[in-house]
């Protein structure tokens, strides 16, 4: 990182050093409460000053495209090998900008895995343990001969066992070009790709996303294994989520809220936000958001903000993954009215129990999320380090937790 022009080389600590780094951080963080919000502005200023190192050419606010009261920012990285536009949301523009910048950096880092860290082998060559570990991660209905394909692999550190194990590169990188650099064997998504100011926060963020997406995937399987629980927005008592719901109502927007249970202890929410009859029509279809966090209030607030962000994403029209399906020439008004009424008067809705105080330190958060990964069925929690820097402090990792399923698996 000698220049602020062009692309920086992705610097990452070796996988076998992850355990030492984690122990060091956890010792320092034990009993220390997280202060992420206080450091957000400093982080944004630091990332903005070095944005050209990562190919980021523009950071902008999309907030005023809608009136939901949720700040939305976007970061543009034109030479991205996946989405060139990354977005972030928050209650303030600084929070939204931090999210957009961090997402852009995640994609950049996952494109930069050096050749020295890659080896080519088949799952069968690597032994029965590795073949069995990833068998459940395959693309749905993929041919049983997947374990004979010559795949690219890199090393990951398994937090559960303290071992370094091979991880399929298709589950790590974000080179989504055509033709793909990888044979069709595993689903391609950004699940478990996360950035943080510490290794602990990056891994925690990645694990929360894995639990969120695997829970939603479980709820969408048939027959339903994790039926969603409808929540009445009028009876939401959490301070953060209540504040967002009040802002949405003031903007003539209505929200649908579902709690998605799973085989773990963390709350996962699916939320949808759409226009009421009084709203000047600009994006009739509901925007949808998902989130997992340590409290019901925190998870619901994040899901509501993501649903509001989804509306702004459609309005901006800048992301490559927003297709023409988001802009139909004709809307089913009866269906929209039915959906709107169900949001206002949800049948069989319930009230959430009072929130307990969630973990407050980085160490306790990591412990809680790893326990939930185990309960959800993860057989490993493999950390693949992608980037590490001190100017500013950034750690980017990919967490792979086989055989948990993803949203795209259905």
Q: Tell me, what's the pLDDT at 32?
A: 53
The CA distance from 227 to 205, in Å, is: 25
CB-CB contact of 63 with 312 (8 Å):
yes
**For the chain, first and last CA: distance in Å?**
41
Per-residue pLDDT of the chain (410 residues; tens, 9 = 90+): 333 433 455 678 899 999 999 999 988 866 555 556 668 899 999 999 999 999 999 999 999 999 999 999 999 999 999 999 999 999 999 999 999 999 999 999 999 999 999 999 999 999 999 999 999 999 876 778 999 999 999 999 999 999 999 999 999 999 999 999 999 999 999 999 999 999 999 999 999 999 999 999 888 765 555 678 999 999 898 999 999 999 999 999 999 999 998 889 899 999 999 999 998 889 999 999 999 999 999 999 999 999 999 999 999 999 988 888 889 989 999 999 999 999 988 888 888 877 878 898 899 999 999 999 999 999 999 999 999 998 889 999 999 999 998 865 43
Distance CA 71, CA 92 (A): 6
Structure tokens at 333: 């008004």
d(CA 121, CA 55): 32
d(CA 193, CA 73): 19
Token digits of residue 276: 């009421």
- C-alpha angle 88/58/3, rounded to 5°? 110
Task: Give the pLDDT of residue 307.
Answer: 98
- What pLDDT is attached to residue 10? 60
Q: CA-to-CA distance for 408 and 140, rounded, in angstroms?
A: 10
Q: Tokens representing 303?
A: 């899901």
- CA atoms in the 13 A half-sphere facing the CB of 155: 15
pLDDT of residue 2: 37
At residue 194, the 3 state secondary structure works out as strand
Q: What is the per-residue pLDDT for 11? A: 73
pLDDT, residue 6, reads 38
Residue-level pLDDT at 180: 94
Cα–Cα–Cα angle for 189, 321, 134, nearest 5°?
A: 10
- Residues facing residue 288 across a β-bridge: 272
How far is the C-alpha of 200 from the C-alpha of 195, rounded, in Å?
Answer: 10
| C-alpha separations of 370 from 27, 129, 164, 172 in Å | 17, 21, 17, 19
Query: Given this model, what pLDDT does residue 250 score?
Result: 96
C-alpha 160, offset from chain centre: 21
Residue 399's contacts (CB-CB under 8 Å, 6 or more residues apart) are 192, 194, 203, 206, 207, 210, 381, 382, 383, 384
pLDDT of 47 reads 95
Residue 322: predicted pLDDT: 87
Q: Please tell me whether the peptide bond between 255 and the residue prior to it is cis, using omega within 30 degrees of 0.
A: no
Across the beta sheet with 71-76, the strand order is 58-61, 71-76, 85-90
Q: What is the pTM of this model?
A: 0.93
d(CA 191, CA 214): 10
Structure tokens at 164: 């370094």
């Amino acid at each position: 990182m000698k220049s602020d022009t062009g692309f920086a080389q992705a610097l990452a600590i070796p996988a076998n050093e992850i355990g030492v780094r984690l122990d060091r951080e956890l010792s320092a963080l034990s009993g220390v409460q997280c202060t992420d919000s206080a450091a957000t502005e400093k982080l944004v200023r630091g990332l903005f000053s070095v944005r050209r190192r990562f190919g980021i050419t523009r950071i902008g606010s999309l907030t005023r495209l809608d009136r939901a009261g949720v700040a939305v920012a976007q970061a543009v990285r034109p030479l991205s090998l996946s989405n060139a536009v990354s977005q972030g949301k928050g209650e303030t523009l600084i929070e939204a900008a931090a999210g957009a910048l961090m997402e852009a950096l995640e994609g950049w880092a996952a494109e930069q895995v050096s050749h020295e860290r890659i080896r080519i082998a088949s799952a069968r060559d690597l032994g029965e343990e590795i073949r069995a570990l990833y068998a459940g991660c395959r693309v749905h209905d993929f041919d049983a001969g997947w374990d004979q394909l010559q795949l690219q692999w890199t090393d990951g550190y398994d937090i559960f066992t303290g071992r370094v194990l091979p991880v399929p590169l298709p589950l790590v990188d974000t080179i989504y070009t055509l033709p793909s650099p990888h044979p069709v064997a595993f689903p391609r998504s950004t699940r478990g790709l996360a950035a943080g100011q510490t290794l602990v926060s990056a891994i925690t963020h990645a694990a929360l996303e894995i639990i969120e997406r695997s829970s939603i995937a479980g709820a969408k399987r048939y027959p339903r294994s994790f039926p969603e629980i409808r929540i009445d927005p009028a009876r939401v008592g959490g301070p953060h989520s209540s504040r967002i719901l009040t802002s949405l109502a003031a903007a003539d927007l209505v929200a649908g809220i579902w709690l998605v249970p799973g085989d773990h202890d963390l709350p996962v929410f699916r939320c949808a936000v759409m226009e009421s009859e009084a709203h000047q029509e600009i994006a009739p279809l509901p925007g949808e958001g998902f989130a997992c966090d340590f409290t019901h209030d925190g998870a619901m607030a994040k899901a509501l903000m993501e649903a509001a962000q989804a509306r702004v994403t459609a309005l901006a029209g800048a992301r490559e993954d927003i297709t023409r399906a988001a802009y139909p020439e004709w809307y089913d008004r009866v269906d929209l009215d039915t959906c709107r009424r169900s949001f206002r008067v949800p049948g069989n809705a319930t009230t959430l129990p009072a929130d307990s105080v969630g973990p407050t330190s980085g160490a306790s958060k990591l412990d809680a999320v790893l326990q939930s990964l185990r309960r959800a069925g993860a057989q490993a929690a493999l950390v693949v380090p992608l980037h590490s820097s001190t100017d500013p402090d950034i750690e980017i990792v990919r967490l792979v937790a086989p055989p948990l399923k993803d949203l795209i698996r259905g």
